[in-house]
Structure 1
Amino acid sequence: MAGRRRWSTEEILDAAVELLRDGDADSFSVRKLAASLGTDSSSLYRHFRSKAELLRAIGDRMLADAMDGYRPEGDWKQRIVALALRVRDASGRQPEIAALWGRYASGGAGSRQVMEELLVALCDSGLPDEEIPVRYHRIVVLVAALIAAEAAVGSIAPEEYEQGMEHFRVTALGADPERFPVLARFARDVRPLGADRRAAFEEILAAHLAQIEAAIR
């Protein structure tokens, strides 16, 4: 009788990503993943000790994909922006994984590469060593929050997104000018959360880096 097939770590991660595209982190389970591979959960636990460890590995692979082919260019600010945009673009291609990454974080080669490049850029900025860990943390929190928010929007179905946009328009344009005079004044110009996200991402990050630069000066 033929033995049960042995799945590699990469094959398990591939299958997990496909499963997540059809659901979310809450409905995802090692049992469902094992069933999709035609095996049992115990065989997967030889690769990953828990569901959280598996999800962190998936998030880390997204970061590794983002850093594939990366070559640092420009000054320290340009390099930080390039890093952030690489991670953002990778998350845009896999919004379900990005939303998961925002909850479970990651750990592995991809995560270490992003950390290393960001810390190198901050070292080159002229900041004293004692300030670099704090500045690093602020940048990571900012970028992760922006990406997680965008991933949440990107992972919903098109019809749900359109319903949300219509709800926003009703909320803004239907505001009572006596009760909400300023909202009524700007209702036609206020943009919904899903609009111009790349421009907003770059502007918010640039403003934060400008604050660091001003502190150095």
Structure 2
Amino acid sequence: MTGRRRWSTEEILDTAAELLRTGDTESFSVRRLAAALGTDSSSLYRHFRNKTELLRAVADRVLLAAMDGYRPEGDWKRRITAVALRLRAAFGEQPQLAGVWGRYASGGTGSRLVMEELLQALRESGLPDEEIPAHYHRVTVLLAALIASEAAIATITAQEYEQGMEQFRVAVLGAAPERFPALAHFARDVRPLGADRRTTFEELLTTQLTHIETQLP
């Protein structure tokens, strides 16, 4: 009698990533993953203690992919910007996991590679060592928030997006001036959240790096 196949950790993560590409983190479950692999949940718990640990491991592979082939170039601001754009692109391929990274972090090798490069770049800036952790935290919180926000838009259908845009136009252009005077005044210039995200991402990151630059001794 042939025994049940033993799946490697990488094979489990491959299948989990594929399920997440066609679904979302809420509907994803260890039981569903086990069914896709043709095994039972208990065999997967030998590799990961729970769903959260599994999702962190899949998210860490996105970070590893983002840092694959990366070489530091330019000054500290260019290095941080390069890492930020790599993370943005990597999670753009797997938007369902952007929220996982922001919510739980990962703690794996990919996470350590990102942390190491950002900390090294901030140290190169000339900031005193005691100030670097706080600035690192602000940069990573900003990146996680921007990437998760952009990813949330990427996971909705074209029909849902158009419905949202129509609701935005009705809510803004139809705002009663007596109740919403500022909104009515700026109605034709206010843009929805989904507009010009790439430009906004880069502008906010540049603003944060410029702020750091003003703190240099």
- TM-score bracket for the superposition, by shorter chain length: over 0.9
* 1:151 and 2:183 correspond: no
Which stretch of the first structure deviates more once superposed, 37-46 or 18-27?
Answer: 18-27
8 A Cα contact 1:17 1:97, kept in partner: no
Percent identical across equivalent pairs?
A: 72
Corresponding residue number in structure 2 for 1:2: 2
Question: Matches of 2:104 and 2:24 in 1, distance apart?
Answer: 13
1:31-84 deviation line (CA, Å, top 9, x unaligned): 110011100111111111111110100110000000011011110011101111
TM-score by length of 1: 0.96
How far does residue 99 in structure 1 lie from its aligned partner after superposition?
Answer: 2.5
What is the DSSP-based 3-state SS (H/G/I as helix, E as strand, rest coil) of the residue aligned with 1:107? coil
TM-score by length of 2: 0.96
1:146-194 deviation line (CA, Å, top 9, x unaligned): 1111111111122111111111111111111222222122212211101
What is the DSSP-based 3-state SS (H/G/I as helix, E as strand, rest coil) of the residue aligned with 1:78? helix
Corresponding residue number in structure 1 for 2:214: 214
User: Which ranges of structure 1 fall in alignment gaps of 5 or more residues?
Assistant: none
* 1:164 and 2:164 correspond: yes
Residue pairs, 1:1-217, within 5 angstroms: 1-217=1-217
What is the DSSP-based 3-state SS (H/G/I as helix, E as strand, rest coil) of the residue aligned with 2:71? coil
What is the DSSP-based 3-state SS (H/G/I as helix, E as strand, rest coil) of the residue aligned with 2:7? coil
Question: Matches of 1:130 and 1:100 in 2, distance apart?
Answer: 29
Kindly provide the amino acid, as one letter, of the partner of residue 83 in structure 1: V
8 A Cα contact 2:63 2:111, kept in partner: yes
How far does residue 95 in structure 1 lie from its aligned partner after superposition?
Answer: 0.7
How many residues are aligned here?
217
Question: Matches of 1:105 and 1:7 in 2, distance apart?
Answer: 25
8 A Cα contact 1:153 1:194, kept in partner: yes
What is the DSSP-based 3-state SS (H/G/I as helix, E as strand, rest coil) of the residue aligned with 1:216? coil
What is the DSSP-based 3-state SS (H/G/I as helix, E as strand, rest coil) of the residue aligned with 2:215? helix
User: Which ranges of structure 2 fall in alignment gaps of 5 or more residues?
Assistant: none
- For the aligned residue pairs, the C-alpha RMSD in angstroms reads 1.1
> Runs of at least 4 residues of structure 1 off by over 4 A?
none
Question: Matches of 2:181 and 2:33 in 1, distance apart?
Answer: 52
Question: Matches of 1:101 and 1:127 in 2, distance apart?
Answer: 27
